[in-house]
Amino acid sequence: MEKISHPDIIVTSPDGEYLIIVEIKLNDVNIHLNNSKNIINQLKGSMVEFGCSIGLLVAGERVIVLQDSFDDSHGSSIRVVGEAKLPSYLLPPADEQWRGNPYLDYLEFESQVQRWLEKLKLQTNVDSLPDDLRNLFGGRIINLLRFGEIRAGGPRAWSKVVK
């Protein structure tokens, strides 16, 4: 298993159990290339470390969902279960693709993703999702978002410094 990364966003139950951990990347990743397997393996490592069954990798224009069936305690039962394109309102206009300070762009994107996840607690916002994303999130992820507390995995300025 790869090094553990600190989740960017976490969803926790009222008793502190990790329900979903979210890793954010400004740029899209190809999950079939070696560099992205590293990113996925880091997320898998975090899922094992935190005992979390759902991991989301938000990378560029896509969200990739990982799920652990807990058939094995060492993370080999964690699989990529699907991916979908993010809603266009989460992305900057094509002519403004993250042109400013990369660190500030990252923090803004992370905040946008967190606000979006918080809005998915409302059924009307779920209903307005594109079909592929609504199907990917299904009942389970939406229910965990509604049940849990969605918050930054650490102070926004700190979460990237330690990576």
Higher pLDDT, 118 or 139: 118
Report whether 75 contacts 44 (CB < 8 A).
yes
Higher pLDDT, 98 or 79: 79
3-state SS string for 126-144: HHCCCHHHHHHHHHHHHHH
Query: What is the structure's pLDDT at 31?
Result: 57
Would the pTM count as exceeding 0.85?
A: no
Report whether 21 contacts 55 (CB < 8 A).
yes
- Place 70 in a pLDDT band, splitting at 50, 70 and 90: confident
The string of DSSP codes covering 12-79 is E-TTS-EEEEEEEESS---TTSHHHHHHHHHHHHHHHHHT-SEEEEEETTEEEEEEE--SSTTSTTEE
The pLDDT tens digits for 80-131 are 999 999 888 777 555 455 556 666 777 888 888 999 999 999 999 999 999 9
Structure tokens at 152: 């930054």
